[in-house]
A and B are shown apart, each in its own frame.
Chain A
Amino acid sequence: MTNESLWSIFINASLVNNFVLAYFLGICPFLGVSAKLETATRMGGAVTFVMLVSSICAFGIQLLLVAIDAPYLKLISFIAVIASTVQLVEMFIKKVSPALFRTLGIFLPLITTNCAILGLALFQTNKGYSFVQCIVYALGAGAGFTLALVLMAGLREKLELAEVPDVTKGTAMAVMLAGLLSVTFMGFGGLGG
């Protein structure tokens, strides 16, 4: 267990060690879903939500695995439990709030096996966070992911109107933009500590 303050965990996860721009987790949705601002915002919401759920799951699994002394099952059980929990939650939301389901629903199955989700579960276990710290960590990571996605979408929407050479169209341009964003985020390096 670490004594990091909750605030510093949040800032660290969202800005300093941004999941997308510093750890390169969740690059696929970052490049895939960042073409429109509205979709990007929704995707960010969905990812934050799944992160929260999986963080709680991972915390429970870790306790269980330590108790039965089977650390080699970590990866398999993380993946299996997170995937099925998200599926359950998805059905639950569909039943309870169709409006919310329409906003988040399409993305949920997509992001279950997103590396950012599994990465979060693994990092929090490696760092030995307590339950509350885990939740804050998940929220911070989600906020950071959303921020990166929204910034990227805004840039790409502007870029639609710009005249770029043929060769740079598509993924190459998106990757270059991500590089620039990543440089910007390095500026947060001194925060949080």
Chain B
Amino acid sequence: MTTMGAIPQPETKREAMADTTPDAKPQAGPKLRASNVDFFYGKFQALHNISIDFPENKITALIGPSGCGKSTFLRTLNRINDTIRGARATGEVVLDGENIMEGDVTELRRRVGMVFQRPNPFPKSIFDNIAYGVRINGMARRGQIHEVVERSLRRAALWEEVKDKLNKSAYALSGGQQQRLCIARALAVDPEVLLLDEPCSALDPIATSKIEELLLGIKEQCTLIIVTHNMQQAARVADFTGFFLLGKLIEVNKTDIIFKTPAKKETEDYITGRFG
């Protein structure tokens, strides 16, 4: 399963991250740590030896050209790729010191939520969409569900727009509202990590800015990882940025370092628009 030990860890990366861990928890490692992750679709290797740390309550952006493996990598972090026939991941992904590559996948996905590229509300009412995760995970009594729904919608900055039509179909909302609904739905089960897979690529600039704003709000309680092909978006919201190319993580660092003084030539070429 794991290939730990086969290849030495790039220590420089770890040290760079260590500066930023909150002082309150000197011993604590990153919230989520991937080590030597390889990923295969059948015989095709889509990810090569990815190692990266995601510090708690920070936003980390993963950027790179189409097909570079950033979405595939994101989808190994909640093992949603397990559902693809012939897909296989090796290496270690550690959440709070616990390897998630084995063990209960449903509990993992409750703790590591996901928002997808296209809004995917269920064909149910707005209320039932938000309540869905709470209900299937048996997390609240009947009376409490209303509170959870309201709190989640408020966190996703959607409450004011939908509070009078909670029983209407979620399909009646606009695309941007639907995506905020999906974020609220993910927040309703109190995830510790939230994965966002190009959440704004189907949205207009106004809807995009609303979502970016709310992401900055929810990182207080949640560790965020966002895949984006929009470099300005990464620059606007992310504390850290990782650059993927051809299935490899080229480099990861504080966002302003990546955008101003990247260490690798490939990164600089991509950032400056020489390709991608």
A and B interact physically: no
Chain B positions near chain A (C-beta within 8 angstroms): none
Chain A positions near chain B (C-beta within 8 angstroms): none
